[in-house]
Chain A
Amino acid sequence: MTFEILAQAVINGLLMGFVFALVAVGLSLILGVAQIINFAHGEFLMLGMYTAFWMWALFGLDPLVSLPISIGVLALLGVCVYKLITKRILDAPRLTQIFATFGLSIFLRSLAQFLWTPNSRMIQNSWVGDLRVALGGVYIGAPQLVAAAGAILAFGVIHWLVEKTEVGRAMMATAEDRDAAALMGINTEQMYTLAWAVGSACVGLAGGLLTTFYSVEPNIGLVFGTTASVVIALGGFGSIKGAFAAGIIVGLIQVVGGFLIGPAFKFAVVLTVYLVVVAVRPQGLLGKY
């Protein structure tokens, strides 16, 4: 009995972990290439979720169908934010950058509240909404399963893009040393734009997938954003693989820790683990630093 509950917790944690991982990979990509932590990343996710919600509410599109739209909208948002804001402060002190993205997060959060009220909203009867798979005494929700699969797929694509393609190599060269990359003839401006587009598209996808089983409200980004920054720090800044692995770990710790200590403490457990890790390894799990 307890074993089954624990197994259930592990499965849930794992599946949620993949979603965290996807969100974190997007943040990590932007940090790695464009050298800035987007503290509005959680709010980007919130907008991704709202995009999926409104596609459903206004046009009856299932979130799985509107995924390309969520991805596109967010990629566009990422490019706009880069061109309008962060591009101008690339060489500014870190605090200025933090300041700007905090301002952005406050703006987006209150904009959502202004436009769509603070109420939380949920998509009813999406295709995968009520389905679940039984495995012995353990149930796996179809929405979570689909979300995890989508996250894994997306990570595969990004990993392939970064490791195997010409563009990816150019992007990593830019991440390594912007000036050297520019000397090698890489269009670093394009690489920054691309990183913002792909990094933001990740949360477009994650947002779309989340809406099948998660309600959306203007403040949803706070927890997800904080979690994502903890995840990339845990994985080690600049490591996309580290971010993905750490995302899964965080998902597991959250649910299992919540199960063992109490659900109210699940977030605190994650943060404590993070603090213990960086106390021992200040550069995170896979970071070079």
Chain B
Amino acid sequence: MLPVAAAVIALAYPKVFSLPYPQHVGVLICMNALMAVAWNITGGYTGQVALGNTVFFGIGAYTSSLLLRDFGVNPWIGMLAGTILSMIAAVVLGYTTFRLRGYYFTIACIAMAEIVSAIVVNTRRLGGAVGVTIPIRDASLLNFQFHGTNKAPYYYTILTFLAVALFVVYRVERSKLGYYFRAIREDEDGARALGVNPARYKLIAFMLSALFTSVAGTFYAQYVMFIDPASVLAQPVSVSMCLMAVLGGLGTLWGPVLGAMALIGISEATRVTLGGTGQAVDLMIYGLLVIVFAVFQPTGLMGMLGKLKARKE
């Protein structure tokens, strides 16, 4: 019942709010939700706190953009190429880090992401620190570009990606993969004793996560029409994917979506009411909120809903 209602609301949203700004917020929420859902596969279900997902986001954004700019390749094909590259990167990242546990792993991920960022910043061919402007094509679904003030086509595109990701996670949750992911999160040695090969399943989790993050990367590039290391590859971008998943509820299907709605909602609301971005008041509130949640509501919004439900019954 609830998913149906959610779907109806999500589909009707741009019809009800036809102004560019609310539609833009809708796009932001779906895009961030997609990244958080992807992060949740490794971080939430498998328990591997990977803080380097910008690698995949960046590969997605840069691959399609550079292919389009330099070779005129259609962004959809660029997106496909990006996901393949991202999954290869996930294998490499996984193989070099899967022996590491706990903080060693987290820091190794941060290191990887910073290395990739440094390489892009210093390579002129990749746009360097300046970034890449995506060439304008005719507006059409085939070209993955929609101009003008109506953001609805972008909204429906990203909503479709998000729905696919949620469906995949829903299926994974109920299958061998999902059980093995959670077993690895709970106790890696215990899982091994039951015949689970942690390296293999962590790798699968990484690849799934990389795939969706990469798709979000291509979408971001096609939506904003400009990418640079600061907006695509910086550490805070990695952190925010993780924060949304944790805030919403780790290892739950809908948690990352709720987290994205809450964080984007709050940051947009503070930005609009408190004015200019340079002031960073939105980020201050966001930071505070994260602390408050970590201390008082570590199971996130989903946990809060669960408690409310229990109280009603």
Q: How far is the CA of A279 from the CA of B288 in the complex (A)?
A: 36
CB distance from A249 to the nearest CB of B (A): 15
Q: How far is the CA of A264 from the CA of B118 in the complex (A)?
A: 7
Query: Contact between B284 and A107 (Cβ–Cβ < 8 Å)?
Result: yes
Q: Does A265 touch B at the CB level, under 8 Å?
A: yes
State which of A85, A275, A279 has its C-beta within 8 Å of the C-beta of B291: A85
Closest to B234 in A: A222
Which residues in window 227-256 of B have CB below 8 A to A? 235-236, 239, 242-243, 246, 250
State which of A100, A102, A282 has its C-beta within 8 Å of the C-beta of B295: A100
Binds B, one of A63-71, A109-117, A122-130, A205-213: A109-117
Binds B, one of A8-16, A167-175, A226-234: A226-234
Closest to B103 in A: A37
Q: How far is the CA of A271 from the CA of B96 in the complex (A)?
A: 13
Residues of A with C-beta under 8 A to B284: 107, 110-111, 114
Query: Contact between B286 and A106 (Cβ–Cβ < 8 Å)?
Result: yes
Q: How far is the CA of A99 from the CA of B293 in the complex (A)?
A: 9
Closest to A225 in B: B235
> Knowing A96-B294, A106-B286 touch, does A268 contact B96 (C-beta < 8 A)?
no
Query: Contact between A233 and B104 (Cβ–Cβ < 8 Å)?
Result: yes
Q: How far is the CA of A160 from the CA of B294 in the complex (A)?
A: 36
Q: Does A60 touch B at the CB level, under 8 Å?
A: no
Query: Contact between A282 and B111 (Cβ–Cβ < 8 Å)?
Result: no
Query: Contact between A102 and B112 (Cβ–Cβ < 8 Å)?
Result: no
> Knowing A95-B49, A226-B114 touch, does A106 contact B287 (C-beta < 8 A)?
yes
CB distance from A219 to the nearest CB of B (A): 10
Binds A, one of B28-36, B64-72, B171-179, B274-282: B274-282
Residues of B with C-beta under 8 A to A108: 287
Over the window 118-139 of chain B, the binary record of Cβ atoms lying under 8 Å from chain A Cβ atoms (1 yes, 0 no) is 1101100000000000000000
Residues of A with C-beta under 8 A to B122: 262, 264-265
Query: Contact between B281 and A110 (Cβ–Cβ < 8 Å)?
Result: yes
Q: Does B225 touch A at the CB level, under 8 Å?
A: no
Q: Does A274 touch B at the CB level, under 8 Å?
A: yes
Q: Does B100 touch A at the CB level, under 8 Å?
A: yes
Query: Contact between B99 and A282 (Cβ–Cβ < 8 Å)?
Result: yes
Which residues in window 68-113 of A have CB below 8 A to B? 85, 88-89, 92-100, 102-111, 113
Over the window 204-227 of chain B, the binary record of Cβ atoms lying under 8 Å from chain A Cβ atoms (1 yes, 0 no) is 000000000000000000000000
Q: Does A284 touch B at the CB level, under 8 Å?
A: yes
Main secondary structure of the interface of B (DSSP, over half): helix
Query: Contact between B291 and A100 (Cβ–Cβ < 8 Å)?
Result: yes
Query: Contact between A275 and B96 (Cβ–Cβ < 8 Å)?
Result: yes
Residues of B with C-beta under 8 A to A31: 103
Closest to A284 in B: B104
Query: Contact between A107 and B294 (Cβ–Cβ < 8 Å)?
Result: no
CB distance from A255 to the nearest CB of B (A): 16
Q: Does B106 touch A at the CB level, under 8 Å?
A: yes
Which residues in window 10-58 of A have CB below 8 A to B? 31, 37
Query: Contact between A114 and B281 (Cβ–Cβ < 8 Å)?
Result: yes
Query: Contact between A113 and B280 (Cβ–Cβ < 8 Å)?
Result: yes
Which residues in window 260-313 of B have CB below 8 A to A? 278-284, 286-291, 293-295, 298
Beyond A107-B291, A230-B110, A268-B119, 12 additional contacts (C-beta under 8 Å) are A85-B291, A95-B246, A99-B243, A100-B295, A107-B287, A110-B280, A110-B282, A117-B278, A230-B111, A233-B103, A268-B118, A272-B111
14 contacts between A and B (CB under 8 A): A95-B47, A100-B291, A100-B294, A103-B286, A106-B290, A107-B288, A109-B283, A110-B281, A110-B282, A226-B114, A229-B107, A229-B110, A233-B108, A264-B122
In the A-B complex, the 9 residue pairs with the smallest Cβ-Cβ separation, listed nearest first, are A103-B290, A107-B287, A100-B294, A106-B287, A110-B283, A110-B280, A268-B118, A271-B111, A103-B291
Binding site for A on B (CB under 8 A): 43, 47, 49, 96, 99-104, 106-108, 110-112, 114-115, 118-119, 121-122, 235-236, 239, 242-243, 246, 250, 278-284, 286-291, 293-295, 298
